[in-house]
Structure 1
Amino acid sequence: MFERFTQQARQSVISAQEEARTLEATQILPVHVLLGAVAAAESSDSRLASVLAGSGLTSARLRAHLRAMGPDSGYDDAAALESIGIDLDEVRRAVDAQFGEGALEAAAGAAPRRRGLFGSLKGGHMPFSTGAKAILTNSLRESTARKDGYIGTEHLLLGILRGADPAALSLISRHVGPEELRARILGTMDAAA
């Protein structure tokens, strides 16, 4: 499948791995693929980058949300809490303001972070989570459905939307509705064809 990836789509996957490492995750999650795709689009200064920025999706915003969520945990918790009107980021800020930075993690018995900014797994292979693998499969399905002979960053983003990962959709929904984003991406692809 990777031989069908455009250079930008390959960069998206590489960026996803780098972002997962930077955020001290132990595997590449759908949210990392989302961040990698947005970052790759931004670096190319493409029409897709304009669509994403116009939709409120920038790598800086997504990265800030992910840093607040933590490495591998909290994604599902954040989505679940958000569904009942609780903003986990706001709770973390309030607890940090009241009791000092990191108080919430300390109270939960979390181990102190011993790794640097770049790494839980320095170098080497970082595995894709089941959800991240599903995105790759979905991107192939999106490409095939459109009869495109390649898989681009647009297809990866459509694969994220098709996969409906709660955490990735939560990040997207903070800025734009998933169906609206899908329509905007498809519009960009149709205009380029």
Structure 2
Amino acid sequence: MLPWMRPDARPVRRGVQLLVGLVLYAASIAMLVDAGLGSMPWDVLTQGISRHTGLSFGVVTLLTGVLVLACWIPLRQRPGVGTVANVIVISALVDPFLALLDGLPDPIGVRIALAASGIVLNGLATGLYVGARLGPGPRDGLMTGLVRRTGRSVRLVRTTIEVTVVSVGWLLGGTVGFATLAYALAIGPLVHLFLARLTVPVATEELVTV
């Protein structure tokens, strides 16, 4: 049985942790985009598509999330409630967060601080929603599905996916900069740090095997 499908004595904590993590994740996306110093890999693609279609960042986030979920079908990935919530909550909140941040002053020091804070917040948000054990995000599930089906390493598959989406996004006009590189270097250690502290233990005495 998959971790997010196991009966557990902490459903309230897991649900709240998932929701808080997704809200903070949307805020971290908006912080990096608003800073204008380079976005997270998938958000570079979102920016590029948004600029060419005229659709809002949130709408493009929703559409790409649904498309990525469709790619789970041939990979035989099984979504959890957190997977669906990931698509809905983040896409619904990222536009309001972007609008809220539009009023911030624009000097380079503020933009650097905003980007750095966004990266750290994204690590925390990832630790929260992944640690809730209610299902991976669409993009994480795509990666793990490809790893399982191809037999390639996580590092190779994730790097290939992210280089591809960054390249396509950049060609479409998405913002690539030092914050993109800083995110790539920092997010792994940050998520490792937060996951170790935020992962909700599954009550092993309640597990049901199938």
Q: Same fold per TM (> 0.5)? A: no
* Higher RCO by CA contacts (8 Å cutoff, separation 6 or greater): 2
More helix by share: 2
TM range (shorter): under 0.3
TM-score normalized by the length of structure 1: 0.27
For normalisation by structure 2, the TM-score amounts to 0.26
